[in-house]
Structure 1
Amino acid sequence: MQEKDVSEIPANNQRRERSQLAFRGLLAVLAFCGFYQFFHLFPCTMWSEEPLSVSFSASTDSTDELLCPLYDKIEFKDPDTSVYILHDDEFRNKSISRLSKAVQIPTWIDDEGSDFTRFTKFHEYLETEFQRVFDAANVFKVNTYGIVLEFKGSNSSLKPAMFTAHQDTVPPGDPQNWDKDPFSGLYDGTRVYGRGASDCKNLLIGLLESMDYLLEKGFKPERTIIFAFGFDEESSGKYGASHISKFLLERYGPKSLYHIIDEGFGVFMELQNRYFAMLATGEKGYLDLGIEVLQPGGHSSIPPDHTAIGTMSKLISRYEDRLYDPILVNFNPTLNTLQCIAEYADIEKSLKRDILRAHFDEKSNERVIKLLLNNKITKYNVLTTHAADIINGGDKANALPQNVTALINHRIAHGNGFDTIMDRVTGIATGVAQEHRMGLIVDDEILIEPTLAGSIKIKALYKLAVAPVTPINDEIWASLAGHYRTFYEDITYPEKFEDDVLVLSAGIMTGNTDTRHYWDLTDHIFRGQPGFTPMTSGVHGNNEYVDADSHLQVVAFYYNYILSIS
């Protein structure tokens, strides 16, 4: 071990409405199941109690080239071992014990002021439990608590493949609101409970287990394999993944990696006896906008017509009054999700035609957008969002507020950018400032000189562009699709695939992962993991858990996938 710190419209309108409702429900499942903020809304696994009313057929217009093609299965090098991992009771118990112990070690963080020293105990556990893995790797401790494990390959012409997870979790909240102790790691014979069980110590432990078993069997990679584990993903990764990225760029250089696969929802979804998998190939952008209203103070008995709080309220209210214009551009991965549904689901012909024409026909595109906007979840795939999340101001009842601040969070849709937001908010703020005869300063540029009445200041506090979209329909995508087909069709659920296939779709991540820091390392970044994500998993909420079967799928898939690509 080397360690360094470093078209046909049905006459029956009810039938059409049912078809559209079913389509929207299916889309919501395919596009969002597993994304943490939407877990409670949609059933998406074989355990769903209320399955969607959608019928399927793998049909498409015979004259059209498939927009969501199937890829050939890739033969596993050691399929028997994956079967063993999934079904052997002794292996299962050991694997669950390892995960349970990891959950028992608190590694939660706050947005600021986190005590990272608690990660020391977690590191000690990992290094002891997975001694063979750490002994075989070049181990780098990046910014003290970031872990990079490098398993050096013998063929330097092959680009390294990187797999990531994060060590940290969100706080548990009030333990009294949990049915089980949030740090018990309790296994009830089916599920492992506790904070981090599903987000995402299951992935971290699963990766280490897969490598541990590979090494036990004499694994010597040709391609370098890298595991990278940040420690503050839940607060944007500025201390963990950010530093890991700089380290890897110095060590390997830009665009040096084969791919990066990070956390995400479980890819496997069973819907009305048909099967889909989805890997997120893109993320929305992000912008925190700070607004400050400065006005003279004074006694509350002689107030101006609008206090600083009133001015701020008017600005925010006007800003929230109108949504951003929806947009569905060709590079939005949502379009591929739609295309896969259209080509493999039995939906209304006119709707199917619109989806398959949306990438080149303006009217079809408009109708698809309209359908997405009618659903409170799917609309966010084509909308830039704004949320006024924080506001502060005022000191006491008889004193006029002099300084009022607010923070508005934005998630930026594909096809929009920072200018989209700054132009909108600047226009609204200009109107408010002129009405109140105040000044306006935007990103330190004086647009209206401050006056005795005060000023409005607007500044972009944190910006993250829309993530580069990972290409699909290339060799790397085909490899992932082929491996996933083999894994689920032949290894995990052969009884389900006697007359069926697994369809792999691209998708969008409405939130952000540690991959925000890794864009310079590769053009191929995927977010998602083997397994399934029930809607009740409790990620970022109470009673978080992971199904043991899902956890074992992580181990079993990555065992053969890493063996195959390296």
Structure 2
Amino acid sequence: MPSHNQVRKRSQLAFRSFLAMLVLCGLYQFFHLSPCMMRSEERVSGYFSTPTDSTDEPLCPLYDKVEFKDPDSSVYILHDDEFKNKSVSRLSRAIQIPTWIDDEGSDFTKFTKFHEYLETEFQRVFDAANVFKVNTYGIVLEFKGSNSSLKPAMFTAHQDTVPPGDPQKWDKGPFSGYYDGTRVYGRGASDCKNLLIGLLESMDYLLVKGFKPERTIIFAFGFDEESSGKYGASHISKFLLEKYGPNSLYHIIDEGFGVFMELQNKNFAMLATGEKGYLDLGIEVLQPGGHSSIAPDHTAIGTISKLISRYEDRLYNPILVNVNPTLNTLQCIAEYADIEKSLKKDILRAHFDEKSNERVIQLLLDDTNTKYNVLTTHAADIINGGDKANALPQNVTALINHRIAHGNDFDTIMDRITGIATGVAKEHGMGLIVEEEILIEPTLAGSINIKAIYKLPVAPITPINDEIWASLAGHYRTFYEDITYPEKFEDDVLVVSAGIMTGNTDTRHYWDLTDHIFRGQPGFTPMTSGVHGINEYIDADSHLHIVAFYYNYILSIS
């Protein structure tokens, strides 16, 4: 008979595998609290709660199902062959119009053809909406409600895609929109023309049924999400703030991976209610030039290399705080999935018990699939410098990208890099300038300059203890338990939990419009779906989930 430790180890391996699936799906990050991060007297609300062993209230409650107003139409959308073929055709033709962009210098005129397609294919939708073209290529569709006391609800997607890469590596052409009877292939099939077309299809069918909303419904489609949204969503946000004002929207639901997941014989729906922070840090080393035959002990390239190497040698401390939505993900897993008892106990105590928190941290750190998802990460991605073999480099630059965990912030990073850079500067007799503040005066040997190039705080957390979350969770329960997979739920329920979006979406620009921002969409996203890679695809059935769910959800809330 295996020992208790062997049983726990096997359970931990299964649990790490389970969490790795979440990570590989791109849905969630896990960040954890280390006792060395702060002294006990510095722990404040949001880090640990008052200790309690009470089991009266679940940490991951189930929400009452919400009755659909027109369930038969959702069933029709999911199962009618004629509707499915038309839906697949609409998505396929959208994929066939390239709308990929680069980080800089993109030609946005290509979006004109895409707009023409949308306006022709969904003429009924555009005719029913107040149409606004924001910064030329951003699309805002306003379906005006009759009750001005109801806050508008917004749904978003983006028109752009990443570049296709080498078309020769695709089994089907990246812009073929090929349908094999099960899947639709091509760039944007799952990120995220499927969502954009699905929203338009749901509204088109609502209008066929005579839809007249009380609540204003807004569709917002940016065009440069893949390069931070500075021309698209950024301008759309300013437009909406001027039109409606701050905190004026009921909610925003944006892209994300398909919410439906079957894990360890349990069905979950996971919606991201937060995003990691982001920081691009620029480092510049300036040194006098000269002939390489009389080189100093360390050239500018050697100096910056030493700084980067020392910085990379020190990983950030893992951290799990109560404000992190990932804690809700873990709690839902522990309360409903079949895991070993002591592990379950640790997870359910991790929000107030330091030792339990440490053990949950270690569980994730021990696995390479989850190790880097429990930390604020740093990655030296770009380095430039040097002109020729016999000339000393005078100006060498590097860019280090960071994804910031809840519980860390910009100061966490600036303090770390400043401390390391100070040591290097003193060793080499150089100056140090951080964020334009002179910490060590530049010398004849040169200087090290550090500056934040682009930064985004950790996203505000969407609450999950109010009617908006309960309504959305209840709609998902009804959709999957009663409409989509009734055979799966004869003796089961759908568990809806919060989580973290691994990447940043266009919602980074919409924080001032509402406190309720969700990232995720109906359907399922297999790990093999090729998002940002080759052979990107979407299951046709998964695409129909978008149309069928939003048809009744929009009908219900408006």
Which residue, out of 409, 412, 425, partners 1:420?
Answer: 412
Counterpart in the other structure of 2:204: 212
Matched, 1:320 2:309: no
Q: Deviations over 1:408-428 (max 9, x none)?
A: 000000000000000000000
1:27·1:337 contact (CA, 8 Å) conserved in 2? no
Counterpart in the other structure of 2:353: 361
Counterpart in the other structure of 1:151: 143
Counterpart in the other structure of 2:34: none
TM-superposed deviation, 1:357:
1.0
Equivalent position amino acid for 1:229 in 2 = F
TM-superposed deviation, 1:462:
0.3
Worse-matched range after superposition: 352-361 or 249-258: 352-361
Going from structure 1 to structure 2, the CA distance change for 1:69 and 1:36 (only over 3 Å counts) comes to closer
* TM-score of the pair, normalised by structure 2: 0.94
TM-superposed deviation, 1:62:
8.3
1:331·1:469 contact (CA, 8 Å) conserved in 2? yes
Identity %: 90
2:29·2:326 contact (CA, 8 Å) conserved in 1? no
Distance 1:115 1:31 in 2: 34
Counterpart in the other structure of 2:465: 473
Counterpart in the other structure of 1:497: 489
Counterpart in the other structure of 2:48: none
User: Secondary structure in 1 aligned to 2:293?
Assistant: coil
Distance 2:155 2:510 in 1: 12
Which residue, out of 446, 455, 471, partners 1:454?
Answer: 446
Equivalent position amino acid for 2:420 in 1 = I
TM-superposed deviation, 1:64:
3.8
Matched, 1:343 2:373: no
Counterpart in the other structure of 1:52: none
Q: Deviations over 1:279-299 (max 9, x none)?
A: 000000000000000011111
1:102·1:122 contact (CA, 8 Å) conserved in 2? yes
Distance 1:29 1:81 in 2: 33
Distance 1:380 1:217 in 2: 49
Distance 1:36 1:128 in 2: 38
Going from structure 1 to structure 2, the CA distance change for 1:37 and 1:403 (only over 3 Å counts) comes to farther
In the alignment, structure 1 segments of 5+ residues that lack a partner are 1-9, 39-60
Going from structure 1 to structure 2, the CA distance change for 1:34 and 1:388 (only over 3 Å counts) comes to closer
Matched, 1:73 2:45: no
User: Secondary structure in 2 aligned to 1:261?
Assistant: strand
Counterpart in the other structure of 2:518: 526
Worse-matched range after superposition: 458-467 or 471-480: 471-480
Distance 1:246 1:62 in 2: 46
2:158·2:225 contact (CA, 8 Å) conserved in 1? yes
2:23·2:369 contact (CA, 8 Å) conserved in 1? no
Which residue, out of 399, 402, 410, partners 2:394?
Answer: 402
1:136·1:151 contact (CA, 8 Å) conserved in 2? yes
TM-superposed deviation, 1:379:
3.5
1:31·1:507 contact (CA, 8 Å) conserved in 2? no
Equivalent position amino acid for 1:343 in 2 = E
Matched, 1:33 2:25: yes
Counterpart in the other structure of 1:184: 176
Q: Deviations over 1:2-59 (max 9, x none)?
A: xxxxxxxx83332211100111122233455244999xxxxxxxxxxxxxxxxxxxxx
Written as runs of structure 1 = structure 2, the 5 A alignment for 1:129-168 is 129-168=121-160
User: Secondary structure in 2 aligned to 1:481?
Assistant: helix
Distance 1:513 1:28 in 2: 22
Which residue, out of 480, 490, 494, partners 1:488?
Answer: 480
TM-superposed deviation, 1:374:
1.6
Counterpart in the other structure of 2:294: 302
User: Secondary structure in 2 aligned to 1:298?
Assistant: coil
In the alignment, structure 2 segments of 5+ residues that lack a partner are 31-52
Matched, 1:107 2:81: no
TM-superposed deviation, 1:510:
2.1
Distance 2:55 2:192 in 1: 44
Distance 1:479 1:32 in 2: 29
Matched, 1:440 2:432: yes
Going from structure 1 to structure 2, the CA distance change for 1:472 and 1:32 (only over 3 Å counts) comes to farther
Written as runs of structure 1 = structure 2, the 5 A alignment for 1:371-390 is 371-390=363-382
Distance 1:80 1:101 in 2: 28
TM-superposed deviation, 1:336:
0.4
* TM-score of the pair, normalised by structure 1: 0.93
Distance 2:173 2:489 in 1: 39
Counterpart in the other structure of 2:537: 545
Distance 2:226 2:507 in 1: 12
Written as runs of structure 1 = structure 2, the 5 A alignment for 1:245-324 is 245-324=237-316
User: Secondary structure in 1 aligned to 2:472?
Assistant: helix
User: Secondary structure in 1 aligned to 2:281?
Assistant: strand
User: Secondary structure in 2 aligned to 1:369?
Assistant: helix
Which residue, out of 16, 33, 46, partners 1:24?
Answer: 16
Going from structure 1 to structure 2, the CA distance change for 1:62 and 1:454 (only over 3 Å counts) comes to closer
Distance 1:344 1:127 in 2: 46
1:34·1:534 contact (CA, 8 Å) conserved in 2? no
Task: Could you list the structure 1 runs, at least 4 aligned residues long, displaced by more than 6 angstroms after superposition.
Answer: none
Counterpart in the other structure of 1:54: none
Going from structure 1 to structure 2, the CA distance change for 1:291 and 1:401 (only over 3 Å counts) comes to same
Counterpart in the other structure of 2:385: 393
Matched, 1:243 2:235: yes
Equivalent position amino acid for 2:267 in 1 = Y
Q: How many residues end up aligned between the 2 structures?
A: 535
Distance 2:322 2:26 in 1: 24
Matched, 1:98 2:90: yes
1:264·1:527 contact (CA, 8 Å) conserved in 2? yes
